[in-house]
Structure 1
Amino acid sequence: MFSGSLSFFCMMIMNIDLDYLDLSNNLLSGRIPDCWNKYILLRLRNTSLYGKIPHSLENCTQLGFLDLGDNKLTGIIQPWIGERLDGLIVLRLRSNEFHGNIPSTLYRLLFLQVLDLSLNNTSGVILSCLNKLIVMASVASSEAMTYLWEGSFDITDNDNFIFSFNDHLLVV
């Protein structure tokens, strides 16, 4: 188990070509440093990190899986997530301290299969853009505007297994 600040990590990986990083469930502290440049999978779930989502994550244009849930992150959910990270399959920001409106740019995430923004202080209508998320939304009842997604998927890279995810979604 790792403990301490993540800032040391930027120095450590500066010359290493990493695509996948999972530091979930560690005793990390402090802010998420602004040093990210190329990842496909980034999981920093349940690590007690705080502060805002660093802008350098904008550079991770191949990011398919972003899990920053169960931390103490603050600020707004950045609109550039929907603009720059258009290959996201999983976006998990649950159980933080985000506030403000849910950005409408999230509808641009056409490959998104899991969107978890629960347990934050955000507001806004997300249902109106769910039908634009073709992979995630299938209409179960058009009268009640109910969307249902259920399934599993594996994330692979060059036939190497990286991550498997099983989940379901029901929005009423």
Structure 2
Amino acid sequence: MDLTWDDTSDNWYGDLDQRHLYFGLTDELMAIAHSDHTANYQKDDYAYHSTDLSNNYFVRNGKADEWAEKYADRIQQHLDAREESFSIDADNQSFPPSISGIQNGIVAYAMNQREWKVQGAKVDLAVASNVTKESSSKWSAKYDLKAEYKATALEKVIDDGPYRVASDLDGSMSVAA
């Protein structure tokens, strides 16, 4: 937690209340705003490694889920097309990387907590934030997603051979193949 950044009354970045941006971050997200933090948390004698966002301010108050919901339709279109790897642009391209990188890391966490499905079958989705500085005044912000589709009972492949398909309600009604 960086308490020194909770001293502003400015809210310059849409619905992102930057007064709470640094509460409950992982070490990796804190290092986006404070590059010297990387050297600190990677030391052997570093006392506590922060690796979980479940107590993050925006996760706990539901704002991270609101932000993630704005991407749900775009993600679902890719999932419905059964894409295994894809990227979508982040909506906060105009924010500085120190802000968008942290916000997008929180949003990626919320996206990873959601349950995703395609035609009733579960999809394991891994979402990562990717904020890349292209020049001194230009950067891109996107999410990289990897999907693993789980097979439904009807999609299972069975070996060739003789089968008898019968109803649980009336075993006398069956079809043999």
Same fold (TM over 0.5): no
Larger Rg over CA atoms: 2
Higher helix share: 2
